[in-house]
Amino acid sequence: MLQLKVIREEKQRIVSGLRKRNWAAQQLRVIDRIIDTDELRRSTQKELDDALAEGNRLAKSIGQLMAQGKKDEAETLKTQVATLKVKSASLEEKLNGLKTQLDDLLYSVPNCPHKSVPKGKTPEENKVAKDWTKPFPTLPENALPHWELAKQYNLFDLELGVKLTGAGFPVYRGKGARLQRGLIQFFLDEAVKAGYEEILPPHLVNEDTARGTGQLPDKEAQMYKCELDNLYLIPTAEVPVTNIMRDEIVPVKDLPVKMTAYTPCFRREAGSYGAHVRGLNRVHQFDKVEIVQIEHPDRSYKALQGMVRHVEKIMNKLELPYRILLLCGGDMGFSSAKTYDFEVWSAAQKRWLEVSSVSCFETFQANRMKLRYRDENGKLELAHTLNGSALALARIVAAILENNQTPEGIRLPKVLWKYTGFKMI
């Protein structure tokens, strides 16, 4: 969530930022409500503190009077304390109410887009930051989409997944499973080479963790929940990995903190059905290698560029046609201040598929998580968090299969040979 202090002190910047997210005047009123509620909260806090301070003073006096045997005087003070307690109890109730109200309001406000984020409402208004200028792969006449190729070569089986679990849970097998494992290994190796610490986190997280990265309270429906144990299946490695730093204070010399993790990702996605979600385009469980950075506010956007380059490098090694989009305000995620999406060209479906999303959250996540660093002067400041997929498997697999199909079989990019143990499918 946004910092109160920032809303208070830089209201205009926040308001114009939210306009980029197409917030109407009506919605923008929430900012004033926040400021008003906060003001009331502060004055109530002051009143309560004063009442409690008075109570503390009286309690001490009573103690002293009792020690001196002045029972009567002590009794008089006790009645004073009693009325004071009634007062502070009601003030406390009021204060708690205001705090809850304020939190609810704050939770409802998305991150303020960075000044470089373009205006826009829909995905069509995203800016192409880097286009694919070379020709697309040319496929044979009878080129197949990946779900047909999967059948032909026995790579993954969605019907079998239905039998075992339900729709959207692919069963990979044979060379398909092997390719999956090879890609994971390849992505992790690339991340480790780039200085990320490899993490293998739990795939189930508790409520506090889900709240830390903002899945709760709003996006509860996106996650699978183990009701009995009150745990959530992670929708992305970002959740457990970023939360490693929750409530931590990092010495400034330790920044940036760079972590990478492979995990399966589970998403309920009460989304659409139809041709464009066929095959691996959208599934409930997929594999992903995530990269996460905790950075100093002065360097976070440089780090964002670094992460974009990292993903680019991988795309190049996989010899896949890709483009990079700078998301417009209207298409950005709730928590993000700036996001680049990577799309891979799926030659048989003849469309772009999103395979990576790299974002800087500034202090939006850190504020909720209380993730701070101690600067050179010993002052505590909120750190910036960033993350990105490097990369999401299912759609990359789709693209690799489709783009490299030949009458003789599917040719794998050279970089994967040592990971899969085979060059062709």
Partner RNA sequence: GGAGAGGUGGCAGAGUGGUUGAAUGCACCUGAUUCGAAAUCAGACGUACCUUCGCGGGUACCGGGGGUUCGAAUCCCUCCCUCUCCGCCA
The residues of the shown chain that bind RNA, judged by CB under 7 A, are: 42-43, 45-46, 48-50, 52-53, 55-60, 62-64, 66, 78, 81-82, 85, 372, 380
Task: For the CB of residue 381, give the shortest distance to RNA in the complex, in Å.
Answer: 9
Task: For the CB of residue 196, give the shortest distance to RNA in the complex, in Å.
Answer: 25
DSSP notation for 55-113: HHHHHHHHHHHHHTT-HHHHHHHHHHHHHHHHHHHHHHHHHHHHHHHHHHHHHTSPPPP
Nearer to RNA, 14 or 325 (CB): 14
Residues in the chain, total = 425
Task: For the CB of residue 243, give the shortest distance to RNA in the complex, in Å.
Answer: 16
Nearer to RNA, 59 or 192 (CB): 59
Task: For the CB of residue 44, give the shortest distance to RNA in the complex, in Å.
Answer: 9
Nearer to RNA, 129 or 200 (CB): 200
Nearer to RNA, 13 or 57 (CB): 57
What is the C-alpha to C-alpha distance for residues 127 and 292, in angstroms, rounded to an integer?
A: 24
Task: For the CB of residue 66, give the shortest distance to RNA in the complex, in Å.
Answer: 5
C-alpha atoms less than 13 angstroms from C-alpha of 55 in its C-beta half-sphere: 15
Nearer to RNA, 64 or 305 (CB): 64
Nearer to RNA, 55 or 409 (CB): 55
Nearer to RNA, 14 or 149 (CB): 14
- Based on the number of CB atoms within 10 Å of its own CB, is 73 exposed (0-12), middle (13-18) or buried (19 or more)? middle
Task: For the CB of residue 83, give the shortest distance to RNA in the complex, in Å.
Answer: 11
DSSP notation for 17-52: HHHHTT--HHHHHHHHHHHHHHHHHHHHHHHHHHHH
Q: Give me the sheet containing 231-233, strands edge to edge.
A: 204-205, 231-233, 225-226
Task: For the CB of residue 105, give the shortest distance to RNA in the complex, in Å.
Answer: 15
What is the C-alpha to C-alpha distance for residues 302 and 308, in angstroms, rounded to an integer?
A: 10
For 11, 138, 144, 286, 408, the CA distances from 141, given in Å and listed in that order, are: 58, 9, 9, 30, 14
What is the C-alpha to C-alpha distance for residues 311 and 260, in angstroms, rounded to an integer?
A: 13
DSSP notation for 158-182: HHHHHHHT-TT--EE-THHHHHHHH
Nearer to RNA, 56 or 116 (CB): 56
Nearer to RNA, 196 or 373 (CB): 373
Task: For the CB of residue 295, give the shortest distance to RNA in the complex, in Å.
Answer: 19
Residue type, 356: S
412 in Cβ contact with 422 (< 8 Å): yes
DSSP notation for 292-348: EEEE-TTTHHHHHHHHHHHHHHHHHHTT--EEEEE--TTTS-TT-SEEEEEEEEETT
Task: For the CB of residue 347, give the shortest distance to RNA in the complex, in Å.
Answer: 42
